Structure 1
Amino acid sequence: MSLLHDAVRVESLTLLSRFRTDFYDCLTARADALFELAVAVLCTDGPVRSLVELALAPEHRRGHGSLYGGLNRGRIDIGRLRRTLAGLPLPKAADGRLVLAVDVSPWLRPDAATVPDRSFCHTYGRGEAKHQMMPGWPYSIVAALEAGRTSWTAVLDAVRLQPGADLTAITTVQIREVVERLIDAGQWTEGDPQILVVLDSGYDAPRIAHLLAGLPVQILGRLRSDRVMRRPTPSREEFFLVNPKGGRPPKHGGEFVFGDPTTWGTEQAVTITDTRLYGKATAQAWDRLHPRPTRRAAWLDHDGPLPLIEGTVIRLAVEHLPSGGVNKPVWLWWSGTGATTADVDRCWQSFLRRFDLEHTFRMLKQTLGWTRPRLRTSAAADRWTWLVIAAQTQLRLARPLATDLRRPWEKPVQPDKMTPARVRRGFRNLRTTACSPAGAPKPTRPGPGRPPGSKNRRPATRHDVGRILATGQAYTRPPHHKVGTKPRRIS
């Protein structure tokens, strides 16, 4: 047992050292400053609150001027770093399937009027009707999920959304590129289970499934509770049996209204599972349901007839919520058809695992300080984002090597159950054994700076927030919905 444990530690240390070397090779300008900045993020005591505090860390051997110079004028080979992340060992589900989660997390900059490329980001407030739209940089994150309850994910990609960008189109391109990199890295081969991509509400899951046709992926997305789906188109025999006088055959079948149980009919599959957090979880599935597309919005420029994208609709209902909130059923759409009970269980359990990505966002923001710096340019924000992703990846690779340095009031945990924050506490001790390719700093003298008493004669340019769409058209504020009106039906 001891020999096996030592072999695992040696392999993990080798993998961590190789990634640190590959990460350093991805830094094509001011590599030493950027690399030591990422190391300081991992080795500083407590949460990262500012960049100046990182400059005071012992692991950061350079001055604060070198720190800001690396973020403002450094360069990172993002394509090479993405391929490096795709080639690392990734977590998989119990059946050996890769499960990817996609979500958008904002870097809020409400008071930065001189910062370009800001968009209105949706933020959640406390209580109902407390959601707000605040200026910031929204980032679309793709991560691989683990099996079981955990706060660990493997971040694979991050893309900053431009003002007015089509979220579905950007997400489709991002997922396609991530899947292609995983295939090139040998993470998926012919004969393996298809990759499952889990989306939350806000994404057009059927359209994404249509745009990703030809790739070995399955799309699982959450739908609004006021949606209306259509059943398969009836055959000519069935149509004339109901309409003996004839007429024009319909293009769609009967309606499946989420809010009207009388339109549901018989389920394709039903599963009932006892869970520790939610009590009894009941999942119902209906096969071969599709939305009715219309020639507007995303389908306005579609050539040819509009497609019928069939899938499986799953309704998940639980007895109670751990937080004691309002218990409402969750509606899911899966791009596969002919679902069995095993497929239904895998879908709703994979959707619940999607919330592990929220733990990653909280770790990146509250502990690693992703959204703490007040940077002037969006390019510097992208560099800092990838440095934080590289730091989180090093924590994931160091899990078998870390020692639990728990506080006196904390309970001991098993080595394989340590959280990212606990692994980070002992990373300073691991840094000395892992490879560190950064060179020693050279002695220098700070510049003269602005003369005392002089005024800034070049004020920064101020930018509007999300006022120009990606198509170049002028921004128009959407009309407000009246309170108290009947919810609209979305097909």
Structure 2
Amino acid sequence: MLYADGPVRSPAELSLVGERRRGHGSVYAALARGEVDTEGHHRLAASGSPHLAAADPVPHLRAEQGSARDGPGWPCSIVVALKTGRGSWTAPLDAVRLAPGDDAATVTAAQLRRVVGALVEFGHHRPDDPDILIVADAGYDGPRLAFLLAGLPVAVLVRMRSDRVLRRATLPRPPGTWGRPRRHGDEFVFGDPAARGTPQVRSRTRIRLYALARVRARDRLHPRLPHRSAWAAGEDGLPIIEGAVIRLQVQRLPSGAIPKPVWLWHSNVDLDTGEVDRCWQAFLRRFDIEHTFRMLKQTLGRTHPKIHDP
């Protein structure tokens, strides 16, 4: 594939490359009998990775199913290392297929534990380094992902839908108050400005593509977890998973569309202005993973072979 002049649409085309002149049968026989050293690939991929990762579930479509991003197919959880600078290249670290019925957060958490363990093993993270920032889109439940990754040197930054409702921390009870103490404070409604309160952090930054970016951050907000699905109450009930909520509003979009606010949830609390700015700038870099998907599909022909065995 590296020696080919253009995209490789099928294994048979490899037999036409000058450095690999073999019959079609030998190419398919090699695929059928060959093996992939998965652990060796994990170690090699993690040996040169920075401290910023993005995770995203993406379906790898079969050729007869079209090219829609969210269509049916073989969904995989992809983890890549994001890079700084003007380029949009990423370093793919790991890919795990999501089987029918799998919980995306559970599978991705186990995947990230393996990736983070390799990063620590190769010396990319030391005890006194900042946390590795895990950036994900709204397809993931940020609080649950942070709960499953507890104990690792990571921080989770996930976009939330604009119709979410979180809860504030409870206020101290006055002396002599009777009754069971409250577990949740007042509501924080994303779509209701009157219910947001005063932000703890304010920031204004001018950036080339979006003009003026206004940022507001509120601290110690948590979701009210349901007694169903993936959550199971322990002896002390459901956990309280606090984090910081960041609202990003840009002045314009490169496409000319009307910009809408972006809501981000960060698993750490008590963020200062510099940490808040790093968070929303890191989320903007998450879009680099979309360029990776496009290269895998259009340039490397990832979705063109009609594979019958998943």
Please give the TM-score of this superposition, normalised by the length of structure 1: 0.61
2:10 is matched with which residue: 40, 50, 62? 50
Q: Is the Cα contact below 8 Å between 1:221 and 1:332 reproduced in 2? A: yes
Structure-2 residue corresponding to 1:173: 110
> How big is the shift at 1:303?
5.8
Aligned partner of 2:84 among 147, 151, 169: 147
Bigger shift: residues 156-165 or 50-59: 50-59
1:101 pairs with one of 54, 57, 68: 54
Corresponding residue SS for 1:42 = coil
Partner of 1:248: 180
Match of 1:209 among 128, 140, 146: 146
**Mapping of residues 254-333 of structure 1, within 5 Å:** 254-300=186-232, 304-333=236-265
* Pair 1:193 & 2:130 matched: yes
Contact 1:110 1:135 in 2 (8 A): no
User: Alpha-carbon deviations, 1:241-268, whole Å to 9, x = none?
Assistant: xxx8744321111110000010111111
Matched-pair contact (CA < 8 Å) for 2:215–2:246: yes
The answer for the alignment partner of 1:230 in structure 2 is 167
- 2:282 and 2:177 mapped to 1: Cα distance? 48
Provide the rounded CA distance (Å) in 2 between the counterparts of 1:321 and 1:42: 37
Highest relative contact order (Cα 8 Å, sep 6+), 1 or 2? 1
**TM-aligned CA deviation for residue 314 of structure 1:** 0.2
1:182 and 2:119 correspond:
yes
Q: Which runs of 5+ in 1 are unaligned?
A: 1-40, 93-97, 113-120, 125-132, 379-491
Deviation for aligned residue 1:305: 1.4
- Cα distance in 2 for partners of 1:234, 1:66 equals 71
Structure label with greater radius of gyration: 1
TM superposition outliers: structure 1 runs of 4+ over 3 Å: 121-124, 244-248, 300-304
How far did residue 147 of structure 1 move?
1.0
Measured in 1, the distance between the counterparts of 2:67 and 2:187 equals 32
Deviation at 1:337, TM superposition (A): 0.5
Aligned to 1:73: 33
Q: Is the 8 A contact 1:148 1:353 kept in 2?
A: no
Q: Gapped runs of 5+ residues in structure 2? A: none
Q: Which has the higher strand share?
A: 2
**TM alignment of 1:17-56, pairs within 5 A:** 41-56=1-16
Question: Aligned equivalents of 1:180 and 1:245: distance in 2?
Answer: 48
Q: Deviations over 1:461-486 (max 9, x none)?
A: xxxxxxxxxxxxxxxxxxxxxxxxxx
Q: Is the 8 A contact 1:110 1:134 kept in 2?
A: no
- Counterpart check, 1:346 vs 2:252: no
Letter in 2 for 1:339: L
Q: 1:82 aligns with which of 42, 51, 63?
A: 42
The alignment's TM-score, normalised by the length of structure 2, stands at 0.94
Is the alpha carbon distance of 1:71 and 1:303 closer, same or farther for their aligned partners in structure 2, counting shifts above 3 Å?
farther
Matched residues in 1 for 2:261 and 2:225: separation? 25
Code of the residue aligned with 1:222 in structure 2: it is R
Q: Please give the alpha-carbon distance, in whole angstroms, between the structure 2 residues aligned to 1:217 and 1:324.
A: 36
RMSD value, Cα: 1.9
- Tell me, what secondary structure is at the counterpart of 2:183? coil
Q: Deviations over 1:69-126 (max 9, x none)?
A: 2222211120121112112x22x4xxxxx000001222112748xxxxxxxx9945xx
| Structure 2 CA distance for aligned equivalents of residues 122 and 56 of structure 1 | 27
Take 2:241 and 2:297, find their aligned partners in 1: how far apart are those partners? 38
Question: Residue 433 of structure 1 corresponds to which residue in structure 2?
Answer: none
Deviation digits for residues 233-290 of structure 1 (CA, Å, limit 9, x no counterpart): 21123xx6xxx87443211111100000101111110110001101100110000101
Number of residues of Structure 1 aligned to a counterpart in Structure 2: 310
Distance 1:217 1:315, change over 3 A: same
- In the alignment, which residue of structure 1 is the partner of 2:268? 336
1:106–1:139 CA contact under 8 A, matched in 2: yes
